[in-house]
Amino acid sequence: MKRIEDVKLAPSILAADFARLGEQVAEAERAGADRIHVDIMDGHFVPNISLGVPVVQSLRQVTELRLEIHMMITDPDFFLDEFVKAGSDSFIVHWEGNNNLHRTVQRIKTLRKQVGVAVNPTTPAVVLEEILPDVDQVLVMTVNPGFGHQSFIYSTLPKIKRVGQMIERLKPGCELEVDGGIDATTAQLAVAAGANVLVAGSSIFGAGDGICAAMHRLRSAINHDGLIQENGQRSVLKQEGLCNLE
Rank residues 48 and 170 by Cβ distance to ligand DX5 and give the closer one. 48
User: Can residue 56 be called a binding residue for ligand DX5 (CB under 6 A)?
Assistant: no
Rank residues 132 and 200 by Cβ distance to ligand DX5 and give the closer one. 200
Rank residues 147 and 209 by Cβ distance to Zn ion and give the closer one. 147
Query: 133-167: b or e for each residue (b if 16 or more CB lie within 10 Å)?
Result: ebbbbbbbbbbebbbbeeebbeebbebbbbbbebb
Q: How many residues sit in the footprint of ligand DX5 (CB under 6 A)?
A: 22
String of contacts with Zn ion for each residue 34-73, x by CB under 5 A? -----x------------------------------x---
Q: From Zn ion, ligand DX5, none, which one binds at residue 123 (CB under 5 to 8 Å depending on kind)?
A: none
The residues, ordered by sequence, that sit 6+ positions from 105 with a Cβ below 8 Å of its Cβ are: 93, 115, 117, 131, 134, 135
Q: What are phi and psi of 239, to 5 degrees?
A: -55, -45
**Alpha-carbon gap, residue 133 to 122, rounded angstroms:** 22
Region 114-173 residues binding ligand DX5, contact defined as CB under 6 A: 143, 145-150
Q: Out of 197, 201, 211, 218, which residue is the one contacting ligand DX5 (CB under 6 A)?
A: 201
* Amino acid in the structure at residue 146: G
Told to judge if 6 belongs to the known catalytic residues of this protein, a careful annotator would answer no
Rank residues 168 and 178 by Cβ distance to ligand DX5 and give the closer one. 178
**Alpha-carbon gap, residue 75 to 69, rounded angstroms:** 14
Region binding ligand DX5 by CB under 6 A among candidate stretches 12-20, 130-138, 184-192, 222-230: 12-20
- Which candidate in 34, 42, 89, 179 is catalytic? 179
- Which candidate in 17, 34, 39, 42 is catalytic? 39
Q: Out of 31, 199, 211, 243, which residue is the one contacting ligand DX5 (CB under 6 A)?
A: 199
**Alpha-carbon gap, residue 76 to 97, rounded angstroms:** 10
User: Can residue 183 be called a binding residue for Zn ion (CB under 5 A)?
Assistant: no
The residues, ordered by sequence, that sit 6+ positions from 30 with a Cβ below 8 Å of its Cβ are: 212
Report how far apart, in Å, the C-alpha atoms of 242 and of each of 1, 29, 34, 235 are: 25, 13, 17, 10
Helix (H) or strand (E) holding 58: helix 53-62
DSSP 149: S
Rank residues 101 and 198 by Cβ distance to ligand DX5 and give the closer one. 198
Contact positions vs ligand DX5 (CB under 6 A): 12, 14-15, 37, 39, 70, 143, 145-150, 179-182, 199-203
Contact positions vs Zn ion (CB under 5 A): 39, 70, 179
Question: What are the catalytic residues?
Answer: 39, 179
